[in-house]
Chain A
């Protein structure tokens, strides 16, 4: 349509024609003229741009400050016993904006932006900004034979099956005192502790139990005959890195649902080139079958598969991975679960729920060193019940007794290594784990500490113990290692006058020894014994205020078949303790202030330099919008 006006420009008309009128050019000329190009460029009103169907901005602000004073410290901190730190040495920024838009009901995109300032006084120059999860695109297609959904781009949190691509969910035996960066602000302050008491868990964010995946994930659902499927191609965190030299993962799942039960075939594979030329590559493959079957009062869940690793020099042989769980409610209030497992040392998958204790990957030079190095083998790990390790077979037995205001969980485990692959044992320090990890900011160094036997991982540290009874020619231990653990987890809710109080106790008693034992070995026959006691309480003083307290005690005792101190000539004999207090304060809807004060102490009566003592104060302000 022509956009004519009635305004006459006399000056121009004089040069052209007396009866002309002025108009803006239109797109649809009456004939296809020679010069349509310029006309197409300017159409402010006639060419409206398509709109997004929906666009949303959400996110949170999280301010984290930490002050630490150590009257006794590890040598690397001796010169600066006091430390002020603004921020969280994790991948969680101060301000996170989630941006998302949808084009059609099932087609959308999303990205996030983070801003972070360490507040060191440098002003804008030190500001950090970027994407956290990156650019994510989603789309869905509904056809006659199924629905297909595509997730591509930045980081998608995803899970296939426990042995292929998932993180360990465990038995929720942990303490709540130290807040995780991803912990939400609950509707009421009490809800966090009340939910944990009643359900044994609390609201986790989307990453709970899932792995980060970067690339493309194609899901097929509602296929004929109850089938569904997934195909994924891209990078895990361990494949991360900007080099174009191939370092990728791919996998998938075909699942058949029947009633409340299912069976699935799963596969996950990773391959990286060691250099820019072909032929030198390493990787892993794992293929499994997972199932869930209700059989009368029994629920059987399991996964069975084969896996292998390969390097330029060695084409690894296949090994087995088996996990079977049998669940049964013994009474209305008492439930039980028996777990049997066996994972060959030849099965290595650092993107699965089990820890690699048998195999150290070659350095590809293409990993995401800014965030996480290649995962080394963690040697023979003493882990909480439910955390699986390869090169091991064993059994776990867990009970949950629900007595209303008291809920008691009991765990027993017994396991043994399949092959002698390491002369080391690793164990954790749960009482002061987070505080210890903050003694090494930003990086994830291995073999640090006063004796070079501490390794930092995400918000945690573990320690390595060297065994001395080894074959002098191979350096490997003379006998297999066996592991036992007992866990007691009590969650109580009490009424103190008009106030509600939640108290949790977590006790963990573990041992590693060279013989099979039905129970934790509490004697010096054990190569290593670890005893952990953690008691926490939350007193709800009002809708907007909760008083929090924590008491922890830890003992780690090794015997004389392990490395001894050159001075004392005695093996590890560590004690650690912590008392902490703090409060949660609700500032407004969606805004919370969380203060924690921890006094801590740790020492080894055999290794003189292994000592720390001090306190740590942390403040977290978190606002969701």
Chain B
């Protein structure tokens, strides 16, 4: 396969070089070089004598895309990745891969289509990558790592990477309705093994009706299903979601009003699941936003009711796989403790992130998101939320948001859990405030999540709290040279019941789990912005994790990284 990739690459490059002169071919892509020096420390009553305490990793890669426009209505992109592992001399540790391949075009100047690799999202309840566990308003020193993760995993504005076909067209009207847009896609999540695993497809259709500049309506259909007859007919899955959406934008005294709402139903069924017919439920989500542009203020309030059996594979897949340690110090304490992803992994280890949706409900991590682990599509949540944003052009902004939710159906009990989530983020753009030319930004954030359940039975009570503090600074000390600092500290305390789920996402057991976890991630470094979309950064970060879980010892990871990144 590597030989095929290489041959294709050489042929494409040679051909593309020739065509470039005709302006029908251009090159695009990215290149990156990274070296990470990692050190691990742990304190345990038994000295750890078997864990690899230091390692150095890195790579250099080029993604070279050949962008071909054979005519003005067609475009083809083929992208190769050449990756050179750190330490590989004279051709050792080299990999060749096809990173992207797609064709897009317009038929009859009316219907657009794309075939091959697709970055897709639909609505927050059908197909949407919520990035639910990512801290909000991150300092640049973490943000630049997140952007690498986004690039590696093809995350682009809450999209999921899929392979298939997508098409859209629209109708414009002279009266009553301005525009009706049709958009559909069909992708494959899994190929048949020609034995007992059938092909699994994912498809969706959206019809947007733009009635006027004030009102838009939509209908969304989403489905993941196994194709009958592509394997021995064992246990076919079918997940269907249908939703209606509404957007209203209008003016009120001194401001603007924006109302968004979506409501729909879902059904998850298996053709041959023992004891399970299907899971069906509905959801309602409405938010209203008041914008006062002259006062630089916006206010938001909303209501959500997401049924306990609402299942949407496209919207409830998590970007982080907590069962993957990410390859960095996976085991410690003489191999007895598995290290779960921590803040360090969340910020910048693409190995724990996944590219596509998962057909089964992925486990959540209580310490990172106990309230809305699947974003707004989190099932079994009822309540409201309110928010405020003030962004003064002089360089000060504040974002406040609060969720007050509860369960709709008790888990293993009739008592219901109550959820609270409060977030406050502040940004000070000192350059703007002081009128200087060099950029200086300070960020502060504070978040609190709590889960409570009171009961006459002591064992049923739940009392879990998580605090997260974040702070960061970006200071341009010389032209295009920035000092970067960042800190995230979070503390999880209390106890909750964490469900074990079967392959149909039903709770099979509830584990009472206690938390005394403290995590801190500190980072500082320097970034030099080169010409073009290119930068070099050197930074040091330190992860401290105390009481990661019951019975696992504390640890500390120190990481020094050098990254040179270019996009073209």
A: residues with CB less than 8 A from B are: 2-5, 7, 9, 12-13, 16-17, 19-25, 29-35, 37-45, 49-52, 55, 57, 91, 97, 99, 101, 103-107, 109, 111, 113-114, 124, 127, 129-132, 134-137, 139-141, 143-145, 148, 150, 152-155, 212, 214-216, 218, 233-235, 237, 239-248, 273, 276-278, 368, 370-371
Contacts and interface: CB of A to CB of B under 8 A. Distances in A.
A444 to B, nearest CB: 13
A214 B58 CA distance: 11
Interface in B21-43: 26-28, 31-33, 35, 37
Contacts of A57: 13-14, 17
A107 B532 contact: yes
B265 interface: no
B396 interface: no
A49 B260 CA distance: 33
Interface residues of B, number: 120
B530 A99 contact: no
A215 B564 contact: no
B60 A143 contact: no
Contacts of A32: 247, 249, 258
A134 B92 CA distance: 9
B171 A248 contact: no
Given A97-B10, A107-B534, 15 more contacts: A13-B171, A17-B180, A31-B249, A33-B218, A34-B216, A39-B168, A42-B166, A52-B27, A99-B64, A101-B568, A134-B94, A137-B32, A141-B531, A240-B92, A244-B56
B321 to A, nearest CB: 22
B169 A23 contact: yes
Given A19-B173, A44-B75, A242 B566 contact: no
Nearest to B127: A37
Nearest to B172: A21
B501 to A, nearest CB: 28
B176 interface: yes
Nearest to B92: A370
Contact of B31 (A135, A245, A246): A135
Contacts, number: 341
Contacts of B210: 29-31, 33
Contacts of B177: 17
B136 interface: no
Task: Pick the 8 closest A-B CB pairs, nearest first.
Answer: A153-B60, A37-B121, A104-B531, A130-B91, A152-B33, A244-B55, A104-B532, A134-B84
Nearest to A13: B171
Nearest to B111: A24
A91 B214 CA distance: 68
B540 to A, nearest CB: 13
B105 interface: yes
B157 A37 contact: yes
Contacts of B176: 17
Given A38-B166, A124-B3, A51 B26 contact: yes
B196 interface: no
Contacts of B530: 104, 106-107, 139-141, 150
Contacts of A97: 10
Interface string B514-558: 000000000000001111111010000000000000000000000
A144 B27 contact: no
7 contacts: A25-B183, A41-B166, A42-B112, A44-B75, A50-B568, A103-B532, A109-B62
B447 interface: no
A34 B82 CA distance: 39
Nearest to B245: A34
A141 B480 contact: yes
Contacts of B213: 30-31
Given A33-B216, A143-B481, A55 B91 contact: no
Given A107-B532, A137-B60, A143-B480, A51 B27 contact: yes
Nearest to A114: B91
B568 A103 contact: yes
Given A55-B20, A139-B530, A38 B206 contact: yes
B353 interface: no
Contact of B112 (A2, A24, A154, A241): A24
Greatest chain A CB density within 10 A among B73, B118, B532 is at B532
Given A41-B114, A41-B120, A52-B26, A17 B173 contact: yes
Interface stretch (B46-54, B371-379, B412-420): B46-54
Q: Does more than half of chain B's interface fall in helix, strand or loop, or is it mixed?
A: strand
A538 to B, nearest CB: 32
Contacts of A371: 89-90, 92
Contacts of B168: 24-25, 38-39, 42
B478 A49 contact: no
A214 B89 contact: yes
A135 to B, nearest CB: 4
B158 interface: yes
A242 B92 contact: yes
Contacts of B536: 139, 141, 150, 218
B72 A216 contact: no
A19 B566 CA distance: 49
Contact of A19 (B73, B175, B185): B175
A49 B567 CA distance: 11
A167 to B, nearest CB: 16
A35 B94 contact: no
Nearest to A248: B56
Interface in B381-406: none
B73 A20 contact: no
Nearest to B205: A38
Contacts of A7: 108-110
Interface string B83-99: 11111111111100000
A139 B108 contact: no
B77 A131 contact: no
Contacts of A124: 3
A247 B52 CA distance: 14
A45 to B, nearest CB: 7
B458 interface: no
B479 A23 contact: no
Greatest chain A CB density within 10 A among B27, B166, B533 is at B27
Contact of A277 (B53, B57, B110, B246): B53
A241 B93 CA distance: 9
Contact of B122 (A38, A135, A141, A273): A38
B81 to A, nearest CB: 10
Nearest to A45: B72
Contacts of B61: 135
Greatest chain B CB density within 10 A among A16, A35, A38, A273 is at A38
Contacts of B65: 49
Nearest to A6: B109
A26 to B, nearest CB: 8
Contacts of B175: 17, 19
B119 interface: yes
B171 A12 contact: yes
A494 to B, nearest CB: 42
A5 B90 contact: no
A368 B55 contact: no
Contacts of B13: 57, 99
A218 B563 CA distance: 12
A137 B75 CA distance: 28
Contacts of B127: 37
Contacts of A243: 87
B280 to A, nearest CB: 24
Contacts of B407: none
Contacts of A135: 31, 33, 60-62, 82-84
B260 A34 contact: yes
Contacts of B54: 245-246, 273, 278
A134 B60 contact: yes
A106 B530 CA distance: 9
A139 B562 CA distance: 14
B279 interface: no
Given A38-B121, A137-B60, A137-B564, A52 B28 contact: yes
